[in-house]
Structure 1
Amino acid sequence: MADADLAGLLREVRRQARFEDTVGKVLDWLRRQTSAQVALVQDATTVRSSTTGFPHEVLSPLAPLLARMAGGQLASAATEAERLHVHCEALGSSEPRPVLVVAGVSKPTPETISLTSHVGSVLTLLRRAEDGDLAHRGYQDKARQVRLGVLHALLAGEPVLARRMNSGAVPPLLEAGGLRIYLLRCPQADRDRIPALHQDPAGFHGSDLMVQCPVIDEHLICLVAENEAQRDPRGEETAELLRSLVRDNRGYALGISAVQPLSATAAAYGQAVHALAAARATTERVASHHGRSRLEGVLPQRAALNWARTLLQPLDSVPKTSADITRLLMTLPRSGVARLLGLSRNTVAAHLGRWDWISTTSAPEPPSTWRWP
């Protein structure tokens, strides 16, 4: 076969690689070179792609032969069917193997057989590339789902559950003593690109975790470990990476929570949301949560505790899940909480409804002896 033929085949592959039906374009190229009709048959019966004039009636008498080739018993074969000369090439080694079927009115020449073999090799490589792309996309999807599952567990105050979800490959974040949440606001395309760019082979981000927010398309939730003994060198760069992204992109903003234990991730998230709102009003577009004076510090301790216990006693009968959902509703709309936790809005409303009877209960008045400083 002439080198020009091979060069033409490679040019066709490079030219058509950007199109979805690359296989069909290669088959059309082979038809133009050989004047024969071509089809790629999968599972011994299904035509994945073919040239426009391919005689599908030849496949029925070829069925036993195609089954043997798909099963790995034959690599190539030549026969006649429906008054046509047929040459078949099995592709690859993974069973069931696809089969390249070339049918023409005249017996194929050695040059045609050679060119068909080369086309088969190219299609095998294209198939492997396609399988690799599918596997990579599948891995990325699963990694994203696991990261979101870990976030859900931590928001529910269940770090042990988050560890069980990653048995055998527990990310360092879940072994840390605490965390901060860095909430980055950026365009959605960047929000999706940043985690993929910085993830490690396990699908995490060193000692930290970046999760696309399931509620707000422009938010990237970054859980940064705060236990230095457990930190990975890559993880130490996460905070500075996020700050540098804000410095370099005027449309970005960053809200940073205070340090919280893993079981208080929901509280850290709420702090980061408020900090982000403040950050968007500053020239630096970065703000940290500095906390507030705790109420018990300005109240008489014994009297305040007795009053608080009386006020909050009805809450003891409310399930923890309902309390967690209500806490998130202080920061997000009802539909946002449903998306964040993977629940329906009716389920969120049902949990919220558990509080209705409490709101009708008369709250005790604060002791008249309290004096505000």
Structure 2
Amino acid sequence: MRARERADDVLRMYRLARTGGSPELLGWLARRADGWAGLLDGDGTVLQAVAGTARWPGQDAAKLASRAVRELTVRGARAYSLEAGGRTALLLPLDGAGDGRDTLLAVVAPRPVPDRLATLLADATMPLGLAWSSESVERKRRRVDLAEFRGREAVLHLLMTGQLSIAHQVAGALRPKLPDPVRVCVVECTGGQRDEVARICADASGGRTWIVRCPVYARHLILIMPVEPDAVSAPGGRGAGAGRGDRAPLDRTVAELVDDCVVGVSEAVPLSDTAAAYRQAFHALAVARGLPDRHARFGSAPEPALVAGAAGARWADALLAPLLTHLPRRSQDPGSQELAATLASWLAFSSHATQHLKIHRNTLAARLKLIGELLGLDLNRLAGQAALDLALCIRAAPARHRPDVRREHTAAPDLDAVLSGPGIQDWAAQQLRQIAPAGPTAEETLRTWLRCEAQLAPTAAELGISVPGTRKRLVRLEAVLHRSLLRTPSARYDLWTAFRAADLLA
């Protein structure tokens, strides 16, 4: 009978190890021993343990087990038992742990020790060792994956802030080589699909695309893809070149291979314009959500920063000068570059900037307060945000689009003077022409939304409709404008600028 019970126990332990791993098996052993169970290394450090109970506080039991390990080490024994205070600590080496160090199974049980407990623990060492070994391999794999994820995230951050030289240096330790020119693609996955979609993207691209898990949106993948002018632009179409022209672009391939994912793609841009390309891809993503094939590419449109001219460059330099020349009072305080990166991240991601920058929300609030004081702007107002967004974009514009203003000694114009320029006026007219087909309420809705600081509840109250009704109007306008409105990065800054420019000529 005992042999049958022992066989049943062994079978159950293997099942627990397979289905629940070491935590489940340790919990079962603790219940059988009416005590505490855990895994310790050779110096007595607890690696894994069950939670303590009122009768058996985990901390007290762990201390006794650690003491037993130290005595076992001194005596040079493989197994050991230690009695103290009406309790017995039993130690056995773990078979098949395979983690490169001594791992011990420790059980603390009341005296007298339950019958056949030693035999049960001896039988448990093999399934527990196999489970622990498997879990150790998985932990190492996750650490490697996390290290690569952090490295890729760092490269993305450097690209988004225009630090190409450092980005190339960091990317040199990873793979593949950063392409140039690029398209940026944002893939929105469902549920827990992101890792699987990343694998599909890597396979479909042949390892030529930079794949980064978005640090801000948990369901987003960011792909930095090499531009292939001879690739097929649509299913059934053919590129100008031969050979590779039969292969569909990666972004469309992903949309076809992965059900329920949504894909937005930027224009082809130089690698230095990665930040602008990301915003384009994010806007295209908002459009793709409403399309049957769940895929959209950003429509060709000029950026206001590229048509602001010399007046815009002088205005941007003057507006941002207090920030860019700021010297911190203490070495641990953020400098001008860090503050500028914080401002750019906050304008793009709002409160999600804490995830992007890996800082606490109080740190973000303190930095924004300092930035507002340096610039003399109320950062809670959409007008100030739009002005800063335009200024940062002008500063970040590629050299070929940015006039040389170093030799100009004229006073810097104000924002209205910049918006009155012919380039901005043409851009604004093009933006606002897109609104007309959306119906008579479109412009009123957008103007009211912007006047209410892009807040839904005040907008709904002023329009005299419900909040869901206001949201539906804005969602429909996203499809018309081909821009994201409700989620950051949002087109609200460009819309504010376009309406302001139009009003100057009214």
TM-score normalised by structure 2 residue count: 0.52
Q: Which residue of 2 aligns with 1:336?
A: 352
Q: Give the C-alpha shift of residue 266 in structure 1.
A: 0.3
Q: Which residue of 2 aligns with 1:171?
A: 175
What residue ranges of structure 1 are gaps of 5+ in the alignment? Answer: 229-235
Q: Give the C-alpha shift of residue 182 in structure 1.
A: 0.7
Q: Give the C-alpha shift of residue 14 in structure 1.
A: 0.9
Aligned length: 343
SS of the residue aligned with 1:181?
Answer: strand
Q: Taking structure 1 as reference, are residues 262 and 351 closer, same or farther at Cα in structure 2, changes over 3 Å only?
A: farther
Q: Taking structure 1 as reference, are residues 183 and 348 closer, same or farther at Cα in structure 2, changes over 3 Å only?
A: farther
* Aligned with 2:129 (options 97, 116, 124): 124
Q: Which residue of 2 aligns with 1:187?
A: 190
One-letter amino acid of the counterpart of residue 414, structure 2: S
Q: Which residue of 1 aligns with 2:261?
A: 252
Question: How far apart in 2 are the matches of 1:307 and 1:272?
Answer: 29
Q: Which residue of 1 aligns with 2:207?
A: 206
- Choose 85-94 or 267-276, whichever is displaced more: 85-94
Q: Which residue of 2 aligns with 1:347?
A: 367
8 Å Cα contact 1:38-1:101 kept in structure 2: yes
SS of the residue aligned with 2:225?
Answer: strand
8 Å Cα contact 1:44-1:66 kept in structure 2: yes
Identity %: 21
Question: How far apart in 2 are the matches of 1:190 and 1:135?
Answer: 22
* Aligned with 2:252 (options 239, 243, 256): 243
Question: How far apart in 2 are the matches of 1:9 and 1:40?
Answer: 18
Q: Give the C-alpha shift of residue 340 in structure 1.
A: 2.6
- Could you list the per-position Cα deviations for residues 74-98 of structure 1 after superposition, in whole angstroms to 9, with x for gaps in the alignment? 2235798889999752335855542
Question: How far apart in 2 are the matches of 1:135 and 1:310?
Answer: 52
SS of the residue aligned with 1:287?
Answer: strand
Q: Which residue of 1 aligns with 2:156?
A: 151
8 Å Cα contact 2:209-2:224 kept in structure 1: yes
Q: Give the C-alpha shift of residue 121 in structure 1.
A: 2.5
Q: Which residue of 2 aligns with 1:277?
A: 286
Question: Residues 1-373 of structure 1 correspond to what in structure 2 (within 5 A)?
Answer: 2=3, 5-6=6-7, 8-15=9-16, 17-19=18-20, 20-26=23-29, 28=31, 39-40=37-38, 42=40, 43-44=43-44, 48=49, 66-70=69-73, 73-77=76-80, 88-91=91-94, 94-95=100-101, 97-100=103-106, 116-166=121-171, 169-174=173-178, 176-195=179-198, 206-226=207-227, 242-247=251-256, 251-292=260-301, 307=311, 311-312=315-316, 314=318, 317=321, 319=324, 321=337, 332-343=348-359, 344-348=364-368, 350-351=370-371, 355-356=375-376, 362=414, 364=417
Q: Which residue of 2 aligns with 1:231?
A: none
8 Å Cα contact 1:254-1:286 kept in structure 2: yes
Question: How far apart in 2 are the matches of 1:60 and 1:257?
Answer: 59
Q: Which residue of 1 aligns with 2:469?
A: none
- Could you list the per-position Cα deviations for residues 333-362 of structure 1 after superposition, in whole angstroms to 9, with x for gaps in the alignment? 532345333351442454466554797963
8 Å Cα contact 1:58-1:81 kept in structure 2: no
Q: Taking structure 1 as reference, are residues 284 and 107 closer, same or farther at Cα in structure 2, changes over 3 Å only?
A: closer
8 Å Cα contact 2:211-2:223 kept in structure 1: yes
8 Å Cα contact 2:36-2:61 kept in structure 1: no
- Choose 44-53 or 147-156, whichever is displaced more: 44-53
Question: How far apart in 1 are the matches of 2:62 and 2:165?
Answer: 58
- Choose 145-154 or 10-19, whichever is displaced more: 10-19
SS of the residue aligned with 2:183?
Answer: strand
What residue ranges of structure 2 are gaps of 5+ in the alignment? Answer: 230-244, 325-335, 378-383, 388-411, 427-506
- Choose 354-363 or 145-154, whichever is displaced more: 354-363
Q: Give the C-alpha shift of residue 280 in structure 1.
A: 2.8
One-letter amino acid of the counterpart of residue 11, structure 1: R
Question: How far apart in 2 are the matches of 1:199 and 1:172?
Answer: 11
RMSD: 5.1
Q: Taking structure 1 as reference, are residues 205 and 142 closer, same or farther at Cα in structure 2, changes over 3 Å only?
A: farther
Question: How far apart in 1 are the matches of 2:64 and 2:340?
Answer: 68
- Choose 218-227 or 61-70, whichever is displaced more: 61-70
8 Å Cα contact 1:180-1:259 kept in structure 2: yes
8 Å Cα contact 2:188-2:262 kept in structure 1: yes
Q: Taking structure 1 as reference, are residues 171 and 61 closer, same or farther at Cα in structure 2, changes over 3 Å only?
A: closer
Q: Give the C-alpha shift of residue 118 in structure 1.
A: 3.0
Question: How far apart in 1 are the matches of 2:14 and 2:215?
Answer: 39
One-letter amino acid of the counterpart of residue 291, structure 1: S
Q: Give the C-alpha shift of residue 269 in structure 1.
A: 0.6
8 Å Cα contact 1:58-1:82 kept in structure 2: no
8 Å Cα contact 1:209-1:223 kept in structure 2: yes
Q: Taking structure 1 as reference, are residues 314 and 80 closer, same or farther at Cα in structure 2, changes over 3 Å only?
A: closer
Q: Taking structure 1 as reference, are residues 3 and 254 closer, same or farther at Cα in structure 2, changes over 3 Å only?
A: same
Q: Taking structure 1 as reference, are residues 239 and 40 closer, same or farther at Cα in structure 2, changes over 3 Å only?
A: same
